[in-house]
């Protein structure tokens, strides 16, 4: 089994700014929630996913990943570091798994 890497940089409006091209992003109706879907057949099993929010200051905004449907995609939630409220933020992610 070969290893597949999917990566992306997504702005706060859910627009893909750069990436590997084998995923789509949809911003949910509430700020700070994004659905990321892998193209069909990208992964044969659930990939490992990591990521980070982009910040223009020294704050550390919160980046959380929720898996949905195994190898089909995931949900990203971004939050303000100080208030804990969901907040629309640019983020980057990497997913690694078998193809």
pLDDT-above-70 percentage for the chain:
92
Task: Domain of residue 63: give its range.
Answer: 3-98
Q: How many domains would you assign to the chain?
A: 1
Which CATH number is 70's domain given?
2.60.40
pTM over 0.75: yes
The CA-CA-CA angle for residues 33, 67, 46, to 5°, reads: 140
User: With contact defined as beta carbons under 8 Å apart, do 11 and 5 qualify?
Assistant: no
Q: In this predicted structure, what is the pLDDT of residue 23? A: 95
Question: Which tens digit of pLDDT belongs to each residue from 59-97?
Answer: 667 778 877 666 788 888 887 777 778 888 889 999 999
The answer on pLDDT for 24 being more than 90 is yes
Nearest Cα to Cα of residue 25 among 88, 79, 73, 64: 73
Categorize the per-residue pLDDT at 10 as very low, low, confident or very high, splitting at 50, 70 and 90.
very high
């Amino acid at each position: 089994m070969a290893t597949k890497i999917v990566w992306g940089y997504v702005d706060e409006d859910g627009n893909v700014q750069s990436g590997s091209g084998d995923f789509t992003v949809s911003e949910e109706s509430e700020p700070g929630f994004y659905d990321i879907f892998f193209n069909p057949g990208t992964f044969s099993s659930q990939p490992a996913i990591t990521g980070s929010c982009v910040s223009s200051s020294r704050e550390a905004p919160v980046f959380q990943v929720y898996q949905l449907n195994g190898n089909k995609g995931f949900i990203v939630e971004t939050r303000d570091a100080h208030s804990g409220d969901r907040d629309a933020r640019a983020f980057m992610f990497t997913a690694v798994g078998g193809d």
